[in-house]
Every structure is written in structure tokens, then in C-alpha cells.
Chains A and B, each alone.
Chain A
Amino acid sequence: MTNKLSASVAGGTESPLLRRRSGFAHRRSESMGAYTLLLPFLLLLLLAGLIPAAYALWTSLVNRTGSFAGIDNYVNVVTDFRFTSTFLNVFATMVLYVPLIVIIAVVFALLIHASSRRLSASVRFIFYLPGAFAGIANFVLWLYILDPTVSPVRWIWSVLGYDSLGEVAQGSNVPMILSLILLFQGVGSWMLIVYGALNTIPEELIEAAELDGANAFQRAWLIVLPILKPWIAYLSIMNIAYALQLFLEPTLLGNATNGKISPEWTPNQLSFTFAYGVGDLGAAAAMSIILLVLTLGIGLFIVTRTDLFGDAE
């Protein structure tokens, strides 16, 4: 620390002796000030992040009697007959959901960006509104939509030949249903984000392309999209991470269909069952650590490989 300090102080000073002493004092008080200001956040990071993660790690490495169990819990988790299917399930959902939300968010952001202010503002508000019905409120909305006996769009279900919620929510439809539910509540916010990014593109660039003879589609494809690439990557990866930790919607769908959807459909649900269904806290902790490592990996990828956080340096 002393070296860094003196090095940074030494650069660009006039009277080294005098400046060095007061510079050092400045640095110290600056550091102290910084740590004081950061204290609340760091404390929370400790309490809500580091300590639980450490405790989870410890719990995952011991067995029920408290003695060291090595990777036994991890082996149990990974060889559980439901482990692979939970990841297959979220993968099936991701494969539908992520492309859909990226495409819809980007396309509509582009469309809105090219529209008049009034139309743009109205459409933005309309799309964002469902975001207010987040989580369980959104799910109630979809219970209403998905149940053919009460749905405001029941003609869709009768065309598909479904008479009951159980048929609509049958196993093979679940990834699609989940995607729709997540899309409805999420597309508004993500669209706003892309729209905001679009606003940072200089007008001249687009006008120049227009003068060169590019039509709207070509302008979007050749100029805007490449600039949006880091945003698209960010969007995709964030939603992959989100799909990975699904819990609420599959659980509620299971309740609403009287148990026809497995209560261990997603990895997080499996962790929950380990904790409370079977009472195996070591396995639950191991599952949490696995999910944590996966999402940390995703996070690391975003932070280090995309350009989005370059300004953070």
C-alpha cells in the first residue's frame, strides 16, 4: 500500500517533501473516508453474500452428524435421479425464452426508436405495465389466461383441443408456458434497456447511412445491430441466469395442476426438496453451491468478456 501511495503521490508534485507528507495524509483520509462510506454495503455483502456462501460450502462438506464428508453430498446430488432432468427442463425453457425475449426486445426497441414521440411513449408504457405485475401477481394473470374454463382467450385453447388447465399445462407444454409467463412480465423492462442504448447511438451515423441509400431494414441490420451486440449479449446472459434459478412459476403450476408437474422440475426446486422434503441439508447446500458456481461463471463471463463494464475500470 505504501508503495502505491508514494508512487501515485510522486507523480506530478512540485515540492516533493512538503507535498509528500500532506499527500500521504490526504490519501489516508481519503481511504478512510472511502471505507467508511462503503461500510454499509460491505457489511451487507458479508451478511447476505459471503457468510451464507461460506456456510453453505461448509454444510455441503459435512454429513448429518457433522463430520467431514468430502464430496459425498455432491455425489448424492449429481447422481440423484432428478438432477439431470432439472437442468434439461430449464434448458428447454431457456431455448425458447432467451431467443424470444432478445428478439422481441430488440425488434420492438428498434420499432419504437423509429417512431414518433407520442407513439413511442405510449407503447413503452403499455409494454412496461405488465412488469408491475411481477412474480405471483403475473402468475395469477396467467392462471386466468391459461385455464380454458375462464380464459379471455379460450378460443385459442379450443382450437388446440384443450378442455382443462391440466391439458394446457401438460408436461411438454410447460417450457413454452413458462416462457410466455416470463416474457410477459420481462419484455417491457428489457425493451426499455435496449431502447436506452439505442438513444446513445449518434444520429449522424444513421443519417449518413440513410443518405447512402440504406433502407430502414438495412440500417438496422448493418449499423445498429452491431453496435447493440454487447447489449444483446448482456440481455441473453442475464436471462439465461434468470431461467436457471426458476422456482416460483413451476411450483405454482404444479399446485394448480394438482401435482401433475413434478415438484422437482427445476434445480432450485430440487434444492428445496432436498432441504425440506427429505431433510438432507447437506444435499441442499451442495445444490446451492453448484448453482452458485454456475451463475458466478456466467457473471464472470459477462464482466470480463463483454465490453459493457469497461467504464468501470
Chain B
Amino acid sequence: MDTDRGGVGIVGLGKYLPSRAVDNPAIEQGAGLAPGTIEKQTGITRRFLVDEGDTATAMAVAASRQALDAAKVEPSGLGLILGCTYTPDYVFPALACDVHRVLGATGAGAFDLMANCTAFQVGAMVGSDRMHCDPELGNVLVIGTAIVSRALRWDDPTSAIYFGDGAGAAVLGRVPAGYGFLAHEVSSQTRAYESVRLRRPAPGSGERTFIEMNGMDVWKQVAQHQPGVVRRAVAKAGLTLDDVDFYVFHQANLHLITYLMSRLGAKPNRTYTNVERIGNTAEASLPIALCEAVEQKRIKHDDVVVISGVGAGFTFGASVMRWYDPPSASRS
């Protein structure tokens, strides 16, 4: 990395959760499951779901405004907006363009990218790479937004038990050399391409399609490939796993996160989980968890932080950062 040009890091985070909390009994009843099944299988006890009038853009804007406030950046300071979602309000134009319009970020480019539940990490990679390549580019806003509930069959226990809705956002900004993103890694294993999918209806069929999941394939993919992508990202940063202070994973399943921490030889107190309280919020999961971990001061200035996700396809990603927290930096 060319450290002479300074770093690029996360300088503000925001999140939004819908107000309607739904506990497990309602989901278990709809999916024909015995009481207690969901918590036993996933660790999830509650999720928050949108109501009829809620939109992906409105959630994205709410999370973005909080992130911009935290970063002390005006919408006019944005050079790029990246929308990460597979559940936008429109097939096109991009959700990022709608956020651009609502925020009045007239100086920014805007587009969406698709990497399912690891899209936020991929968006952070694209955004930080763009800032490294273009020293004139303003701040980058990366948004993960998910209204998964509208793509679920509530009588399908293989998918209905996991998901919640929400949005998370991060503002990327320039930080001193040696801080911010140190390395990124993305890799794909596509043998299980069909294992998690949301198909388009066949033309003229009138069919409505829903998320389909093969949980066994998801487990195999994550257990087999996600630890490796983290190890490669950490090595690419010139560090070892012992150097990592804190991990934030895509919040798919509490048991999987416990397993990942074990594979990486890390004590459980070096990660943050909220899947128990909000479920799997897809692209929003990583930024919401990161936002809450920072709010709760689980991450501090100078910490080496790894964010890692896995998305259908399957695409695995990990980013390594040295955390920059301006208030403590100015005190030290």
C-alpha cells in the first residue's frame, strides 16, 4: 500500500431498523415449527420487519443521514454513493440514485452493486479503492439496505426463520497514513450457485417467486471457505491473526459466528453479535453490527478490525482496517 498518500477509512456509521418487532412464536407458528426451534437453530429471538408503506430508499436515507452526521460530512461532500441491496424498491434505476436524489448529493456519482449479504464489505472495498485511485474524490457513502421480508414465504421454515429488515451505512473518508483499510479480499465458490437464490418469475407465468435456501449447503460453504478469506486478507495486510483485535461478521447465524471465531483462534469477546436481537438483515447486517459495536465502544482507536461476509453465489469477502477514531486520536 502507498502510505505516503494517506489512508481511507470509515469515518461515520449509521443504522435504521423498522419499528415492528416480531418475536419467534409468530414465525414458528407460521412455519409449522415447535416453540423454541428458531432460537435453538439460529440463536435468533427477534427481528424487525417493515410495514406496507416502508421503502428501501427511506431506510437507506435514514441510515445514511446518521452516518453523515457521525462523520460530520454534508451530502455536498460526497463523491460517490454505493447502494448494496437485492431488495430495492425498483428493479432500476439504482437505489443509490434515489438516495442521491433525496439527500441532494449533487456532486456524487451513484450506482448499486450486487454481492448479496457480503455486498457492504464489497462496497467498502470498491469505495476505498476508488478513493485511493482518485485523490480528488470526495467522501464515499456505502449503504446496505434489506427488505428481505417481502421475498419470504412465511410457511417455509428453511428461509423464514432467519431474516429481518433494516439498513446500515458508512461514510468513507481520508485518514492518516497507516489507518483505515489495510487490505481487502474477495473470492467466490460457485459450485453451490443454486443453493440460495431468488429467481425471476418465468415470463408470462404470473408466478411469484421467493427466497429459496439449502441450509446444509450454506453451512458447508461458510465453514469451508469463510475462515480462509479472512486469513488471506489478514496476511495481505502484513499481519497475523494474533494482531486482530476485533471481528465483525455478517450476522447470519449465531452458531456460525461462534464457529468462525473458533476456526480463527479468537476468543468470543473479540466479536460483536446482534443476530440474536435483529436476525439476518442481509446487506444491512455488517454495517448495522459495525455501527452498534462502535456505539458500544467495543472498537477503539488503533484496533485492527476485520469485517467479513458471505453472500449467495457464493461470494466471500473480508476487509482489514486499523480503526481511526478522531477524538481519541487527537487526545493521544
Q: Is the A/B pair a real complex?
A: no
Q: Which residues of B contact A (CB under 8 A)?
A: none
A residues lining the B interface (CB < 8 Å): none
